[in-house]
Structure 1
Amino acid sequence: MSETDADGTSAASQAIASLTREVADFPEPGIQFKDLTPVLADPAGLATITEALAEVADGCDMVAGIDARGFLLGAAVAIRLGTGVLAVRKGGKLPPPVFSETYTLEYGTATLEIPADGIDLTGKRVLVIDDVLATGGTVAATVKLLERAGAIVVGAAVLLELEALGGRAVVGELKVTSLTVVQ
């Protein structure tokens, strides 16, 4: 179980809070961007969040990391768990054949892909990992993609949830663990 301080905050949540860089007006005016790059670059921070994410794996057979920071997190968690990792890529990055899922973003559409050959996901219990849960579209599309490939998605885990953007409503009944929640 993750270490919790007397005030009820976890070590992972503290690492995220202390190491996240906030950037005003990025990528557009009025947005307060939460840059998690310093959390990943800090050895103690990375170890702490990897352990916290691994704790929610729920007996998974594989970890699916979403492009791009989810790749880093997913690989670290998979190594910790002794499982494989699947990179859920942005559209057009994998050779065919692929399974693909197109979804709506707040500013347009995007596509995610996984290989349709070479990896049998049938019946595999998969934990989805990403850095941020915002509007929920990316996680929801990943779940659809994995389920279409035959996987059983056991949940999703993220470092940071932007609660005000309503991502949990979009992912429905999926169990989502957020190491830190902000408005």
Structure 2
Amino acid sequence: MVEMFAAENGLKGDPRLQAISNAIRGVCSSGEKTGIMFQDITTLLLDHKAFKNTVDIFVDRYKDMNISVVAGVEARGFMFGPTIALAIGAKFVPLRKPKKLPGEVIAEAYELEYGSDCLEMHVSAVEAGERAIVIDDLVATGGTLSAAISLLERVGAEVVECACVIGLREVKGQRRLNGKPLYILVEPREIDSC
């Protein structure tokens, strides 16, 4: 429920959250993952006001926190991260799937609800002591965000917080974020099951 997360993130009564929630659609999957409801943020990106509101909320939160690195998780973290980084005067660091970054990388494997995966980051992208946030579109189990935290901490960065547009109702992921705070804007709207 939007109101639950609004109270937790200090935005209770902010009409932007309802607009953001309304702009995200649920899509029933087919194929291998039949019966899973995916949260599609492409409709949020099509709504310029809701998209701007999303970025503005994150920028307002991080602009005075001395953040020097915005790390975006492939691929949907790339849609929010660069804009936030530009607005707060930080660099954007892409965290990518294996073999997509040229040059020397470090990697972190992690478990998902339906398998395993890996994130990579350029070795020289982040310096020890830099303050970082991790951006993604959605948190479910927290495995991807935990891998992102591990990558950044391995090179000496201080991970200040993880931020996601959407948090699933059963967000158990926060327990897997190595004690790092998790900032979520909305949870999925009630939709008939797949």
Q: TM-score normalised to the size of structure 2?
A: 0.84
Q: Which residue of 2 aligns with 1:99?
A: 106
Q: Which segment drifts farther, 12-21 or 126-135?
A: 12-21
Q: Which residue of 1 aligns with 2:3?
A: none
Number of aligned residue pairs: give it.
177
Q: Which segment drifts farther, 61-70 or 10-19?
A: 10-19
Specify which of 136, 140, 149 is matched with residue 146 of structure 2: 140
* Gap change, CA 1:156 and 1:38, over 3 Å in 2: same
SS of 2:167 mapped into structure 1: strand
* Gap change, CA 1:103 and 1:20, over 3 Å in 2: same
Equivalent residues in 2 for 1:7-18 (5 A)?
8-18=12-22
SS of 2:141 mapped into structure 1: coil
* Gap change, CA 1:11 and 1:84, over 3 Å in 2: farther
Specify which of 39, 42, 50 is matched with residue 34 of structure 1: 39
In the alignment, does 2:159 pair up with 1:153? yes
Moved over 4 A (4+): none
SS of 2:12 mapped into structure 1: coil
SS of 2:145 mapped into structure 1: helix
Q: Which residue of 1 aligns with 2:57?
A: 52
Distance 1:165 1:48 in 2: 23
* Gap change, CA 1:114 and 1:15, over 3 Å in 2: same
Q: Which residue identity does 2:97 align to in structure 1?
A: K
Query: Greater strand share, 1 or 2?
Result: 1
Ranked by relative contact order (alpha carbons within 8 Å, sequence separation 6 or more), the top structure is 2
The answer on whether the counterparts of 2:69 and 2:126 sit within 8 Å (CA) in structure 1 is no
Show CA shifts across 1:42-74 (max 9, x none): 211111000111223232112111101101100
Q: Which sections of structure 2, spanning at least 5 residues, go unmatched?
A: 1-5
CA-CA distance at 1:96 after TM superposition? 3.2
Specify which of 11, 24, 30 is matched with residue 28 of structure 2: 24
In the alignment, does 2:115 pair up with 1:108? yes
In the alignment, does 2:140 pair up with 1:131? no
Q: Which segment drifts farther, 91-100 or 127-136?
A: 91-100
CA-CA distance at 1:8 after TM superposition? 3.3
Show CA shifts across 1:73-110 (max 9, x none): 00110111121111111111112311110111112211
The answer on whether the counterparts of 1:159 and 1:180 sit within 8 Å (CA) in structure 2 is yes
Q: Which residue of 2 aligns with 1:121?
A: 127
- Give the alignment's Cα RMSD to 1 decimal: 2.0
The answer on whether the counterparts of 2:162 and 2:182 sit within 8 Å (CA) in structure 1 is yes
Q: TM-score normalised to the size of structure 1?
A: 0.88
The answer on whether the counterparts of 1:161 and 1:180 sit within 8 Å (CA) in structure 2 is yes
In the alignment, does 2:174 pair up with 1:179? no
Q: Which sections of structure 1, spanning at least 5 residues, go unmatched?
A: none
Specify which of 56, 75, 83 is matched with residue 76 of structure 1: 83
Q: Which residue identity does 2:103 align to in structure 1?
A: P
